[in-house]
Amino acid sequence: MGLTRAELESCAGRTIPDLVPDDDLRLLFVGINPGLVSAATGLHFARPGNRFYPALRLAGILPAACLTPEAAVPELLRRGVGITNIVARASARADELDDVELVQGRERLEAFVAEHRPRVVALAGITSYRVAFAEKKAKAGRQDRTIDGAEVWVVPNPSGLNAHETVASLAATYRAAAEAAGIPVPEPAAQSD
């Protein structure tokens, strides 16, 4: 990518555009907030080594040929998959956010969902979900709540800091959310991390 540490740090606080299909948003992935590489590139989950796109490929949500975030964008849009964040501002780490920002982000997310009407909202990160939605005992998976009629799922965050998850375990959860959203996915191929 070629950015210096200073260049990346200068991206703190930036926002990036939401990824939203023109029509028929079926599945909305919701990150915690953009990282600095995402802020620098304008692409969600763009940090090299982030497992989001490999997990989407393994889940069958993306074709195997989509090896970069840039290549994935048109395919995600075609399939009815969008991406946004709870908190819009970029930071080096999600733990730089405070609880007030997460609660305000939930309010922004609720308005976004009311406008774009996805079938399923998949929030990536149980801790941020618990804070934003004031559900301290929430578990991963499909939630009892909806947002403006959309099913709510809590899926694992694909960050490498979430070390107990693998690409395969991420893919299984992302696939379940995609199936709930009515996105056709092929049978998973046998593949290792």
The CATH number of the domain holding residue 124 is 3.40.470.10
Mean pLDDT of 138-151: 97
Is 22 within a domain?
yes
Domain total of the chain: 1
What is the residue-averaged pLDDT of the chain? Answer: 93
Distances (CA, A) of 67 to 61, 75, 145, 149: 13, 11, 34, 33
| Measured distance CA(164)–CA(168) in Å, rounded | 11
Name residue 85's beta-bridge partners: 31
pLDDT of residue 49: 86
Residue 170 has pLDDT above 80, yes or no: yes
Mean pLDDT of 38-44: 96
pLDDT of residue 2: 80
Place of tokens 């056709």: 184
Q: How confident is the model at residue 190 (pLDDT cuts 50, 70, 90)?
A: low
Mean pLDDT of 127-133: 96
Is 67 within a domain?
yes
pLDDT of residue 42: 96
pLDDT of residue 188: 63
pLDDT of residue 28: 98
Task: Give the predicted TM-score (pTM) of the model.
Answer: 0.94
Mean pLDDT of 56-67: 94
150-155/141-147 β-pairing: antiparallel
The domain containing residue 103 runs over which residues?
Answer: 14-180
Is 53 within a domain?
yes
Is 4 within a domain?
no
Is 185 within a domain?
no
- Ramachandran category for residue 72: left, alpha or beta (phi over 0 → left; psi -120 to 50 → alpha): alpha
